Structure 1
Amino acid sequence: MPDPSQTPKLQLVDVHKSFGPKRVLAGVNLDVMPGESLVIIGGSGTGKSVTLKCMLGILKPEKGQVLIDGAPLAEVDSEAFLNDFGMLFQGGALFDSLTVWQNVAFRLRRKPFSLSKKEARERAIAKLARVGLGAETADLFPAELSGGMQKRVGLARAIATDPHVIFFDEPTAGLDPIMAGVINDLIRELVTEMGATAVTITHDMTTVRTVADDVAMLHDGLVRWHGPVADMDTATDPYLDQFIHGRATGPIAAIR
């Protein structure tokens, strides 16, 4: 488990973000410790994706700060930061015109990694093997793969550079329950094996229970509850209770 005395790997301090008159984040405070797997939950439109984009520097908050290893994101070497994280996108986001191995090795062929074609292909095949795909898939195109295989390729690409931080955006979206379970188990294994800091956004409670060390629930632009996944079921927060049990009535329905 992460050492609580450490400086957070990622930290949001009083982060506000709006789009015109629509307030999405209204003072989000969140710490992600080194080596921790944090899962952010909440209903659609509660700000999960916006929070992730603020962490990545894609969106700039109107107020508050995003810190990386204790330093403001604006002061961090953006190229070094970008080279130190991996990302599994919700829809896979594979390049249709590239083969599987070229997708996995996409960043490896570019600075600062700059591997040769042979080295990059070998690394890609090794990462594909780690997510359960054989070398025979390396020269296929994404269109020739099932949805579950495409998700595995996306996962192999996310870990290709052995990043210290990995982001997962709805990792089981569009998968059947069995394949979703396989992907969840793979994520848990890989994050633990690599010692990486992980941030996942999802509304899938099976993903939460498999992947999370800590859970943060967003609602109405604020973190309503944040704590260890083991404490989630006994927590008394009414927002969390309603969400994790899928109840139609409660404070969330009242606000809507």
Structure 2
Amino acid sequence: MITLSKIHKTFDSNQVLRGVDLQVPRGESMVIIGGSGTGKSICIKCILGLVTPDSGEIIVDGQNVETAERDAFLARFGMLFQGGALFDSMPIWQNVAFRLLRGGLKRPKAEAREIAIEKLRRVGLSPDVADLFPSELSGGMQKRVGLARAIAAEPEIIFFDEPTTGLDPIMSGVINELIREIVVEMGATAITITHDMSSVRAIADKVAMLHNGVIQWTGPVAQMDQSDDPYLTQFISGSAHGPIESVR
């Protein structure tokens, strides 16, 4: 579904991506791990066309990202943002139905509200939440609203940016389970960025480790713990000593 080939990206003198090669099969959940500042978010921005690579090619479902018609292309994606990114001045249902109230996906207001309430139910929130505002919700509830918004337009591809940041371990587990269930139900292709290894194990079909601007290791999540790659071993164990430390 998504193929990145020899992707390079430099900002001033900072060479962030140095030839990223990655394939994300249709209907699978790929989790990208790696240290802070290694370029995980830049990979997603390149796929979305928000950042243009210096060189290389990105193909989404047979279509080159750089030549795709923007509105139709972006309509295929859903996104759960790290900080929630809810609009404070809008009630929850309008946050969830944001894409359904404007642009090429526009629906009648009553229909958009009905879809929003249905998606809120799917993530475990009752209909009475629909008319509240983000400030009236806990962090975990806001994350669920963000997830409901990500799936409101039935996207084919969903990106999850640090989906459990700021949540306690129990709520993190709930969000991980919801993400896994929803991706499987929808048959969506998913890419998740996370530092949380419990999320990796709960969400991933496959894992890719980004380090020093390239994909250092990729494979099924079941093979992750048996890998003899020293970079991956150090990262998943959280050890302060190893090859990652030596290149800082």
Q: Does residue 42 of structure 2 align to residue 50 of structure 1?
A: yes
Residue in structure 2 matched with residue 4 of structure 1 by the alignment: none
TM-score (norm 1): 0.96
Residue in structure 2 matched with residue 209 of structure 1 by the alignment: 201
Q: Say whether the 8 Å CA contact 1:170–1:200 is kept in structure 2.
A: yes
Give the whole-Å Cα distance in 2 for the aligned partners of 1:245 and 1:177: 18
Give the whole-Å Cα distance in 2 for the aligned partners of 1:145 and 1:115: 26
Give the whole-Å Cα distance in 1 for the aligned partners of 2:209 and 2:179: 20
Deviation at 1:71, TM superposition (A): 2.2
Deviation at 1:151, TM superposition (A): 0.2
Give the whole-Å Cα distance in 2 for the aligned partners of 1:221 and 1:104: 35
Residue in structure 1 matched with residue 217 of structure 2 by the alignment: 225
Residue in structure 1 matched with residue 83 of structure 2 by the alignment: 91
Give the whole-Å Cα distance in 2 for the aligned partners of 1:49 and 1:112: 27
Amino acid at match of 1:246: G
Q: Say whether the 8 Å CA contact 2:31–2:192 is kept in structure 1.
A: yes
Q: Which moved more, 1:105-114 or 1:147-156?
A: 105-114
Deviation at 1:78, TM superposition (A): 1.4
- Of the three residues 100, 103, 112, the one matched with 2:104 is 112
Give the whole-Å Cα distance in 2 for the aligned partners of 1:51 and 1:74: 14
Runs ≥4 residues deviating over 4 A: none
Deviation at 1:75, TM superposition (A): 1.8
Amino acid at match of 1:184: N
TM-score (norm 2): 0.99
Residue correspondence of structure 1 range 1-256 to structure 2 within 5 A = 9-256=1-248
Amino acid at match of 2:182: L
Q: Which runs of 5+ in 2 are unaligned?
A: none
Amino acid at match of 1:130: R
Q: Say whether the 8 Å CA contact 1:16–1:64 is kept in structure 2.
A: yes
Deviation at 1:117, TM superposition (A): 1.1
Taking only the aligned residue pairs, the percentage that are identical comes to: 63
Give the whole-Å Cα distance in 2 for the aligned partners of 1:70 and 1:85: 15
Q: Say whether the 8 Å CA contact 2:3–2:60 is kept in structure 1.
A: yes
RMSD of equivalent CA atoms: 0.6
Q: Say whether the 8 Å CA contact 1:68–1:76 is kept in structure 2.
A: no
Deviation at 1:31, TM superposition (A): 0.4
Secondary structure in 1 aligned to 2:16? strand
Q: Say whether the 8 Å CA contact 2:71–2:104 is kept in structure 1.
A: no
Give the whole-Å Cα distance in 2 for the aligned partners of 1:117 and 1:108: 8
